[in-house]
Amino acid sequence: MRNRLVKNKKGESGQMLAETMVALAMVVIGLLGLMALLSYAIGLNKVIADQYVATYLAAEGVEVVKNIIDGKVADGQGFGAGEGYFEVEWNSAEVSLISAAEEEAKSLTRSLSFDPASKRYSYQSGGGAENTPFKRIIRLQQSDSPEKIAVNSIVFWKARAGGTFEINLEDAFFNWKVQ
């Protein structure tokens, strides 16, 4: 009986090597799939983080315009700021006109920089500020009613992979101090 067992093992000597190679190939394929999935998830994480930042930059743009309009109305300077595409910063007292056309405004606007010391985005670079891919334009449009202004805060950027993204927040402001 022992001779018979030895005989079978000698006849199947290459089978163990083939089974090991198949098992190793399956493990490698599984690990490669896992690595590809992990790489894809990390890439999506960057896209989501950029969208998160852009949404808050767009909201900041609407808020800055609201503060400028409120300040003008309180000072008796009137409700409107004109129509077109503008740039604003977090501490702007005025909107600065870029262009009346959207495509021209998008090509002329500057990139925002992030200052890690103050944790603020602005158009001023240098002094430790880091360049970002984000650009912001503000669209002001007088509506049919002279007592209403439509404000769009548009933040756009190009991702590392070359994709272009845009966040567009819209709000309407009404003349709260009618003369």
pTM: 0.77
How many CA atoms, within 13 angstroms, populate the side-chain half-sphere of residue 164? 4
Q: Confirm if 29 and 130 have CB atoms less than 8 A apart.
A: no
Q: Confirm if 115 and 129 have CB atoms less than 8 A apart.
A: yes
Q: What percent of the chain has pLDDT over 70?
A: 88
pLDDT digits (tens, 9 = 90+) for 56-98: 999 999 999 999 888 888 887 776 667 899 999 888 888 888 8
Task: Return the domain boundaries, the chain.
Answer: 2-174
pLDDT of residue 169: 97
Q: How confident is the model at residue 177 (pLDDT cuts 50, 70, 90)?
A: low
Q: What kind and span of H or E run contains 20?
A: helix 15-74
Q: What kind and span of H or E run contains 88?
A: none
C-alpha span between 92 and 112 (Å, rounded): 14
pLDDT of residue 73: 81
Q: What is the CA radius of gyration of the chain?
A: 30
- In the numeric block, which tokens belong to residue 45? 């994480």
pLDDT digits (tens, 9 = 90+) for 109-152: 999 999 998 899 998 877 788 999 999 999 999 877 778 889 99
Mean pLDDT rounded to a whole number for the chain:
85
